[in-house]
Amino acid sequence: MAIKINKAFSLIELSIVILIIGILVAGVTQSSRLVRQFTLNSARNITQGSPVYSIPGLMTWIETTMPASYDFEPEDGNAIAKVNDLDIVPSARLNFIQNTSAKQPLYKTNSFNGLPSLMFDGVDDELITDQSLSVAQFSPFNTNTIFMVIRIFSGVVFFKYERKSDAVPRVGLEINNGLLRFDYPDGPRMLVGTTNVLGKPMIITANADKINQTLFVNGSTYANRANSVNFNYNHNAIISLGGNNGDLYVRCDIAELIVFEKSLKTEDRKAVEQYLSRKWKIPLS
């Protein structure tokens, strides 16, 4: 009898231990969810208070934290067919879409310091604008500032505005042997840095005016060159993310894209970089 009683007590004790562990695990899981939600809400508040809307010339602004960015509430691993432009003027919105399910990037909940991003597989994932842009719409050409919050692992093109039949003019951001490359206003006039950037969450700023072409990484100058050529072509093209409109794909995580149809003043550029740094917890250098 004594042996049976000990076994009974052991089973009871084991049940209590399992119950306690279950309660603790549930508490930890709930706490993790609360922390993620707090982090996400904080990022949304920073977005709503950002300087982006106050700077004239916004062309498109997509990012991964706001409910308005999606047509549904995404969960981790969901394929994303559309990311909505946050422009306050509905008629001016330039959304990014992908109608082929196999080519849709995946939503990753915890990618950038507890915040989400879109994961492009480097095989065929790509988002393109839901409308073509004329050269006049995109610039006026030779004057643009582009911001991206991104982590790149491999591949070639992660941003491109180009009509592939002639490739001029074009605005391209890509990776060459781990180095950032900025094509503006065409391929021969490219700007290539000297520091490997693979695998690092970063804020990229590509700025071009009719005098200079500059790349910034985390607020510091990465590369610079003269840019005195002015193209005035009359054609339409889309903007593609994660590839070159059908090829040259990149394996990367994209968290935010902001494009202005003009070259920003230094103080405005820095204000946007500070906003992105605060939101994504990527220090400026």
Mean pLDDT of the chain: 88
Q: How far apart are CA 266 and CA 264, in angstroms?
A: 6
Return the domain boundaries, the chain.
49-280
6 vs 107, residue with greater confidence: 107
Q: Place 180 in a pLDDT band, splitting at 50, 70 and 90.
A: very high
**Residue 230 has what pLDDT?**
63
Query: What contacts 12, CB < 8 A, 6 or more positions away?
Result: none
Three-state secondary structure call for residue 126? coil
Alpha-carbon dihedral sign for residues 254, 168, 166, 84: positive
For residue 98, the model assigns a pLDDT of 98
Find all residues with CB under 8 Å of 224, minimum gap 6, and list them: 191, 212, 213, 214, 215
Segment 37-83, tens digit of pLDDT: 889 999 999 999 999 999 999 999 999 999 999 999 999 999 999 99
Identify which has the larger pLDDT, 160 or 14: 160
User: What is the per-residue pLDDT across 89-138, written as a single tens digit (0 to 9) for each?
Assistant: 887 899 999 999 999 999 999 989 899 999 999 999 999 999 988 776 66
Q: Is the pLDDT of residue 282 over 70?
A: yes
pLDDT of residue 101: 97
Q: Which CATH class is domain 49-280?
A: mainly beta
Q: Is the pLDDT of residue 142 over 60?
A: yes
Q: How far apart are alpha carbons 183 and 148 in whole angstroms?
A: 15
